[in-house]
Amino acid sequence: MKAFARRTLLLTAGTAAAGLATPISANSLQLAAATPAAGKVAETKAALRDLWVGHIFWVRGVVFETFAKNKPAATAAEQAVVGNAKDIAGAIAPFYGQPASDKLFSLLAGHYGAIKEYLEAAVKKDVAAESKATDHLTANAQEIAAFLSGANPNLPKETLEELLLAHGGHHLQQIQEAQAGQYDKEAATWSAMKGHIYVIADALTDALAKQFPDKF
């Protein structure tokens, strides 16, 4: 299972390299569209989209400023990544409590840690270290999927793994393209990344609305 997941993540990165949007299965799309977006659901969906886009925006900043060797800017972007992760984790506290929020923050920290590990390996052109970081990113995606599906029965673990592995693949491809100076390809990857993160945010919102209808 781990090897299959790792291949999925790497395949996603390869798809982005071709400037194509990441394939999303019918199950993923059905999950994101399961609940009509109206009233509080629409407001929550917009808020979560903003939070998750913030994640990819600030990680992108770390990537570009690292390759530009602008350490102050990279540090500032990384601080924003951490602050954003706290906000994303905080968004689930009203539903699952502070301990669950803290757990999600820990998992998101692991997600970013694996991305940074890959970025640092790319800077050093250390292929073995890149492979190790990819394994860490894959394992983390599986942990996040298990955590979220365990909290909400409307979030199938397999579907979440698919979504999160594709997301991780985008991060890796973005690093590769930025390092190579392939800015046109990176722009296409960014577009795919943003569309895909909306799917993740919408799926989480719809699952919350189904599990906690009294809060919506």
Checking if the pLDDT of 208 tops 50, the result is yes
pLDDT of residue 17: 41
Query: Rounded to whole angstroms, what are the CA distances from 43 to 32, 37, 210?
Result: 15, 9, 15
Instruction: Quote the percentage of the chain above a pLDDT of 70.
Output: 83
pTM: 0.85
Contact 21, 192 (CB under 8 A): yes
**What are the boundaries of each domain within the chain?**
2-17+45-215
pLDDT digits (tens, 9 = 90+) for 56-77: 999 999 999 999 999 999 999 9
C-alpha 120: how far from its chain's center?
Answer: 19
pLDDT of residue 8: 55
Contact 140, 111 (CB under 8 A): yes
Q: Report how far residue 121's alpha carbon sits from residue 132's, in angstroms, rounded to the nearest whole number.
A: 9
DSSP secondary structure of 42-82: HHHHHHHHHHHHHHHHHHHHHHHHHHTT-HHHHHHHHHHHH
Checking if the pLDDT of 4 tops 60, the result is no
